[in-house]
A = this chain, B = another copy of it.
Amino acid sequence: VTDASGAFAALHRHERPFLLPNAWDFASAAALTRVGFRAIGTTSLGVAASAGKPDAAAAIRAENLRLAESLSRLPVMVSVDIEAGYSDDPDEVASYAREIARTGAVGVNIEDGEPNGLLGEPALLREKLRAVKAAAPRLFLNARTDTFWLGSAGGADRLQETIARTSSYVAAGADGIFVPGLSYHEDVLALSGAVAAPLNVLFAPGKASLEQLGAAGARRVSTGSLLFRMSLGAAAGAAERIRSGDLLEPNACPTYGEVQAMVLTTGDR
């Protein structure tokens, strides 16, 4: 476990940021592992919607843990999105993070967005970070701020608030920071220059490539719910085309046998 955690932290030290694609179930994680990713994250929207539950509502505490357990069979490093930790009590959050760590996961994402849809107090996330760090010191602790998604400030105020929050999260024990919603070169550049921890940003189609995000200082690029939403779009779109009379192209998707083989894959991570 120590080696895996060290290897995961090391992925954050390259000038070209590493892409952490987000899975939502065993099959999607296995498919990403099969195409060569050494590390994957999870998407709370995907995990929740697959189970018929809303995202960001603290509804998938058990599903997330079950998923982390099942992913431990795959030869891939796993970082789990635990939303705001499913509790306002730092000790409960720490105890959950310890359970996640026991599955062999190498990291967690924990955020200051609250299940009520509001931006939470930074002091609360700091307490949770301290508690998690003490309970599961080997987890790569990625602190997410939702200032860009949920905050009321804009422009320079928003950027200052983001720098203040994330710097305080690093001081409280975060190993990395995650700011979704940034889409501009200047914001990424300003943040990566101001905060002393690897910056994780969200990939946004059509906006910036991995290289461009890396040049601005990002060290980890994750896909959030994008791959999950693309998979739903692909399935529904193909069904619509068949319904309309299309033959479809003899397809380039995994075969039945390849999917069965993925499921039977086990290995060390």
In the assembled complex, A205 has its CB within 8 A of some CB on chain B: yes
| Oligomer copy total | 2
The answer to whether A19 touches B227, judged by C-beta atoms less than 8 angstroms apart, is: no
* Chain B residues, Cβ within 8 Å of A245: 209-211
* Chain B residues, Cβ within 8 Å of A19: 239, 242-243
Task: Kindly specify which of A1-9, A93-101, A108-116, A258-266 makes contact with the partner chain.
Answer: A258-266
Name the residue on B nearest A149 (C-beta). Answer: B256
The answer to whether A259 touches B45, judged by C-beta atoms less than 8 angstroms apart, is: yes
Complex formed: what's the CA distance from A266 to B23 in Å?
26
Given contacts A31-B236, A35-B239, A238-B227, contact A259 B49 (CB under 8 A): yes
* Chain B residues, Cβ within 8 Å of A254: 229, 232-233
In the assembled complex, A168 has its CB within 8 A of some CB on chain B: no
* Chain B residues, Cβ within 8 Å of A255: 229
Task: Kindly specify which of A50-58, A80-88, A127-135 makes contact with the partner chain.
Answer: A50-58
The answer to whether A32 touches B206, judged by C-beta atoms less than 8 angstroms apart, is: no
The answer to whether A49 touches B262, judged by C-beta atoms less than 8 angstroms apart, is: yes
Given contacts A225-B259, A255-B229, A256-B225, contact A247 B207 (CB under 8 A): yes
The answer to whether B32 touches A51, judged by C-beta atoms less than 8 angstroms apart, is: no
Complex formed: what's the CA distance from A187 to B52 in Å?
40
In the assembled complex, A103 has its CB within 8 A of some CB on chain B: no
Report the minimum CB–CB distance from A189 to chain B (whole Å).
19
* Chain B residues, Cβ within 8 Å of A27: 46, 49-50, 52, 228, 232
The answer to whether B249 touches A206, judged by C-beta atoms less than 8 angstroms apart, is: yes
Complex formed: what's the CA distance from A253 to B70 in Å?
28
Partner of A32, one of B34, B211, B239, B264: B239
* Chain B residues, Cβ within 8 Å of A34: 236
Complex formed: what's the CA distance from A54 to B30 in Å?
13
Complex formed: what's the CA distance from A212 to B248 in Å?
14
A-B contact pairs, 6 of them (CB 8 A): A25-B25, A205-B251, A206-B247, A223-B238, A229-B256, A230-B234
Interface, chain A (partner B; CB < 8 A): 19, 21, 25-28, 30-32, 34-37, 45-46, 48-55, 70, 73, 203, 205-211, 221, 223, 225-240, 242-243, 245-256, 259-260, 262-264
Closest 5 CB pairs of A and B: A233-B253, A26-B52, A234-B234, A231-B231, A206-B250
